[in-house]
């Protein structure tokens, strides 16, 4: 019986002991989970290992000549493990003062005593990842590695060197927005558009977590080696970019403008050789590269869109360059809306040919052309515009191109009965400057429209791995006949009597282009006295190599015309290219010499023409029995053709010398005004028009 009682007591004691132990365990678990969670989490983190992603070295961005436009510059961070197994404590203590003195001399951010204290504090706290210095340059790192202790192996010194790549643009402002920014929020430019190529392939490395959620490589080995990104080669020429940037900055600053942009394109390839974007920043109170207006800002182009309108009419076969329109006194109403020409305050230009309308940039003239030819078939006008390739995005490989806003259908959007009039002179339509340039470049390129291309290839270690070839967007935007007429008109803009004549008057090369001056729009209307100035064209006109557009938005420093505000940037670029690229000079010289073998000849009185040619031993092909003739210069002779002179009709005196031209015109009863020198290039009254007695005709010589 007693044994049974003893067994029962022991059983109860054992039960109580087990129950007490269970309760104690539960209490301890509760205390650990609730009261000591942070402490144990910290200890767990101290011993955790993990496969960590290691970012690949980012590729460089290079200019066409190999100059660095963007590169990853290494910066280093120096850390110290006070518990590294290989540290010889006695040796470390002996050399600590020398080490601290060396660090103070190299980095100059702490005294030697302060550096010594950093190491002593790390020892006392048992830190395995003490920060010694951030943002260490490579030369500083090499100097550090020569110091006592630091020159030892990492396990004997305790030092860990970590590399961090920082993106830098060595040329600073130059093309900064197009080169772009590599950032997580709103990356831009080449950095963003070619991120996957520049970024390479990340690696994987085994690392351990130290106190403070700091990760440290266990060794220098990788589970997967990171693959560096490729270098991206841009078409940019740093010298041309510098001129574009500095000249644009000068003009924007001089005229107190809101922003400006300039783009230089290679005609045959579409490669972008320079692109500058200058904007005023209210935040920074200075001008800089803050936004890529060249392809990110759609604007009403104004007069530069007149090329589109005249091309549409020419290509549709509805008008000729000789056809005339009366621009009156420079101010006229169209369906209740008033349109003015720039010379309205001087009495206007009166009757002008289509060519003269373009060269003088007559708003009334272009509006009359489009209204006369497309008034009852406005959809055909929109279709003709679309056929030129200006109604859609270019599809450039850089992010951020904004689409143009061009009516495709009559009646869509804000279309009204007068929309075709406003469109004809560059309003109620929007294009980015680069989209405008692409059509002008196509004219220079014999009708072939090229994709504006910023990047020409990808390479690694100087070896080209992939070439980006020029891309054709349209083999022909129009017929060769229309191209020739457009080139003729654009050359006239830059010659005597054109809106840009004084800018290019003494240039050793020929330029073809178009000035633009547009009102600035705001809240559905236009702001009085606020304009956008532009110039777009190509050079040399005889054998185009480069096209260029310059836009200056809201100049408030006096002048606001495209010829005086934007064209000077174009000219400075063209002057530099002509002066430094000898092949252009040689081509111009060869072209000039070839033309002088059989000289350009004048039309005029037949017997006088023959006498002059025979005296100069110039071969002629003469099939004319007429008193008055025209001539055309061929490769090996001059062809003489009869000129029909009708009674009481204005004769065609273009190509004649002044004496013969005046004789014929005055014989018709006309009063002759003369501008310029040389042979007759233009006449204000079209040939074949009825001649009124004592009517004034102006002839322009060049």
Topology at the third CATH level for domain 52-234: Penicillin-binding protein 2a (Domain 2) (3.90.1310)
User: What confidence tier does 591 reach under pLDDT thresholds 50, 70, 90?
Assistant: low
**How confident is the model over 549-556, as a mean pLDDT?**
96
Give 69-91 pLDDT, tens digit per residue: 998 888 999 999 988 888 989 99
Give the H/E segment covering residue 489.
Answer: helix 480-493
User: What confidence tier does 207 reach under pLDDT thresholds 50, 70, 90?
Assistant: confident
The DSSP 8-state label assigned to residue 344 in this structure reads: G
User: What confidence tier does 268 reach under pLDDT thresholds 50, 70, 90?
Assistant: very high
- 129-133, 380-384, 667-671: range with lowest mean pLDDT: 667-671
| Exposed / middle / buried, residue 566 (Cβ in 10 Å: 0-12, 13-18, 19+) | buried
**CB contact at 8 A, 168 and 179:** no
Q: How far is CA 446 from CA 435, 490, 682, 699, in A?
A: 17, 14, 25, 30
What's the pLDDT score for residue 586? 55
Most confident of 39-43, 56-60, 439-443, 697-701: 439-443
Write out the DSSP string of 136-175.
E-HHHHHHHTTSTTTTS-HHHH-EEEEEEEEEE-TTTTTT
pTM of the predicted protein model: 0.76
Write out the DSSP string of 8-68.
HHHHHHHHHHHHHHHHHHHHHHHIIIIISHHHHHHHHHHT-EEEEEEPPPPPPEE-TTS-E
Q: Looking at the predicted structure, is the pLDDT value of residue 590 above 60?
A: no
**How confident is the model over 547-556, as a mean pLDDT?**
96
Reduced to 3 states (helix: H, G, I; strand: E, B; else coil), residue 337 is strand
**How confident is the model over 465-487, as a mean pLDDT?**
96
Long-range contacts of 624-633 (CB under 8 A, 24+ apart): 628/603, 628/604, 628/660, 628/664, 629/603, 629/604, 630/603, 630/655, 631/601, 631/602, 631/603, 631/655, 632/601, 633/595, 633/598, 633/599, 633/600, 633/601
User: What confidence tier does 593 reach under pLDDT thresholds 50, 70, 90?
Assistant: very low
Residue with tokens 């107190």: 256
Give the H/E segment covering residue 371.
Answer: helix 363-374
CATH of domain 598-701: 3.30.10.20
Give 501-545 pLDDT, tens digit per residue: 989 988 889 999 999 999 998 777 788 789 999 999 999 999 999
**Geometric angle at alpha carbon 417, from 412 and 418, rounded to 5°:** 110
**How confident is the model over 284-288, as a mean pLDDT?**
93
Most confident of 30-39, 142-151, 440-449, 652-661: 440-449
Report the chain's mean pLDDT, rounded to a whole number: 88
User: What confidence tier does 37 reach under pLDDT thresholds 50, 70, 90?
Assistant: low
Q: Which of 46, 593, 675, 549 is nearest to 264 (CA)?
A: 549
Six-digit token string for 223 = 């589970």
What's the pLDDT score for residue 42? 53
**CB contact at 8 A, 72 and 60:** yes
631 compared with 211, residue with greater pLDDT: 631
Residue with tokens 């090369």: 509
- 208-222, 385-399, 484-498: range with lowest mean pLDDT: 208-222
Residue 85, C-beta contacts closer than 8 angstroms, at least 6 positions apart: 155
Q: Sign of the CA dihedral 6, 12, 13, 18?
A: positive
In this structure, the chain runs to a length of: 702
Q: Looking at the predicted structure, is the pLDDT value of residue 226 above 70?
A: yes
Topology at the third CATH level for domain 239-459+469-595: Beta-lactamase (3.40.710)
Percentage of the chain beyond pLDDT 90 is 56
What's the pLDDT score for residue 445? 98
User: What confidence tier does 634 reach under pLDDT thresholds 50, 70, 90?
Assistant: low
Q: Looking at the predicted structure, is the pLDDT value of residue 44 above 60?
A: no
Percentage of the chain beyond pLDDT 70 is 90
Q: Looking at the predicted structure, is the pLDDT value of residue 2 above 60?
A: no
Six-digit token string for 396 = 């450039």
Q: Looking at the predicted structure, is the pLDDT value of residue 641 above 50?
A: yes
User: What confidence tier does 279 reach under pLDDT thresholds 50, 70, 90?
Assistant: very high
What's the pLDDT score for residue 106? 95
């Amino acid at each position: 019986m007693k044994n049974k009682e003893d067994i029962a007591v022991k059983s109860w004691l054992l039960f109580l002991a087990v129950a007490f132990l269970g309760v104690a365990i539960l209490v301890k678990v509760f205390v650990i989970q609730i009261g000591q969670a942070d402490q144990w989490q910290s200890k767990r983190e101290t011993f955790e290992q993990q496969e960590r992603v290691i970012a690949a070295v980012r590729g460089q961005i290079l200019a066409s000549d190999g100059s660095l436009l963007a590169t990853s510059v290494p910066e280093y961070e120096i850390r110290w493990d006070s518990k590294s197994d290989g540290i010889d404590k006695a040796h470390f203590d002996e050399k600590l003062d020398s080490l601290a003195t060396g660090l103070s001399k190299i980095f100059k951010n702490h005294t030697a005593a302060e550096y010594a204290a950093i190491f002593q504090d790390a020892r006392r706290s048992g830190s395995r990842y003490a920060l010694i210095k951030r943002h260490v340059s490579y030369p500083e790192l090499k100097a550090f590695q020569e110091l006592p202790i630091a020159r030892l192996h990492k396990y004997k010194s305790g030092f860990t060197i970590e590399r961090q790549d920082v993106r830098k643009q060595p040329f600073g402002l130059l093309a900064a927005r197009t080169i772009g920014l590599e950032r997580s929020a709103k990356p831009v430019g080449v950095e963003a558009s070619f991120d996957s190529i520049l970024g390479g392939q990340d690696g994987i490395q085994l690392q351990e977590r130290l106190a403070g959620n700091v990760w440290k490589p266990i060794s220098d080995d990788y589970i997967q080696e990171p693959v560096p990104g490729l270098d991206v080669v841009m078409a940019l020429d740093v010298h041309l970019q510098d001129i574009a940037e500095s000249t644009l900055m000068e003009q924007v600053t001089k005229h107190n403008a809101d922003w400006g942009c300039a783009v230089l394109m290679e005609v045959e390839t579409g490669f972008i050789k320079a692109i500058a974007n200058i904007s005023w920043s209210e935040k920074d109170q200075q001008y800089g590269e803050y936004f890529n207006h060249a392809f990110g800002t759609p604007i009403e182009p104004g007069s530069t869109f007149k090329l589109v309108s005249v091309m549409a009419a020419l290509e549709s076969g509805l008008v000729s360059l000789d056809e005339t329109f009366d621009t009156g006194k420079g101010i006229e109403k169209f369906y209740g809306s008033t349109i003015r020409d720039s010379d309205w305050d001087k009495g206007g230009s009166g009757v002008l040919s289509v060519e003269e309308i373009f060269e003088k940039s007559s708003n009334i003239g272009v509006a009359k052309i489009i209204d006369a030819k497309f008034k009852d078939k406005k959809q055909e006008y929109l279709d003709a515009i679309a056929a030129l390739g200006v109604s859609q995005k270019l599809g450039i490989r850089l992010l951020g191109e904004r689409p143009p806003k061009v009516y495709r259908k009559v009646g869509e959007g804000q279309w009204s009965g007068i929309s075709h009039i406003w469109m004809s002179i560059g309003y109620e339509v929007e294009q980015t400057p680069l989209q405008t340039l692409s059509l002008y470049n196509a004219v220079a390129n014999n009708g072939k429209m090229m994709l504006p291309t910023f990047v020409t290839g990808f390479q690694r270690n100087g070896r080209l791995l992939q070439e980006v070839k020029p891309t054709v967007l349209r083999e022909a935007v129009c017929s060769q006949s229309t191209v020739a007429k457009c080139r003729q008109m654009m050359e006239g803009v830059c010659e005597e009597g054109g809106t840009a004549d004084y800018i290019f008057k003494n240039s050793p090369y020929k330029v073809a282009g178009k000035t633009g001056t547009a009102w600035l729009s705001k809240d559905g209307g236009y702001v009085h006295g606020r304009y956008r100035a532009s110039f777009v064209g190509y050079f040399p006109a005889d054998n185009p190599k480069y096209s260029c557009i310059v836009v200056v938005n809201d100049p408030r420093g006096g002048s606001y015309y495209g010829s005086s505000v934007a064209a000077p940037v174009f000219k400075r670029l063209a002057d530099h290219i002509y002066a430094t690229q000898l092949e252009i000079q040689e081509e111009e010289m060869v072209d000039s010499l070839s033309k002088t073998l059989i000289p350009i000849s004048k039309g005029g009185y037949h017997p006088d023409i023959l006498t002059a040619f025979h005296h100069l031993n110039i071969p002629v092909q003469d099939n004319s029995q007429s008193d008055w003739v025209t001539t055309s210069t061929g490769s090996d002779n001059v062809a003489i053709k009869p000129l029909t002179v009708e009674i009481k009709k204005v004769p065609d005196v273009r190509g004649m010398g002044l004496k013969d031209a005046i004789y014929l015109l005055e014989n018709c009863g006309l009063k002759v005004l003369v501008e310029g020198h040389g042979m007759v290039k233009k006449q204000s009254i079209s040939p074949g028009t009825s001649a009124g007695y004592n009517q004034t005709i102006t002839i322009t010589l060049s």
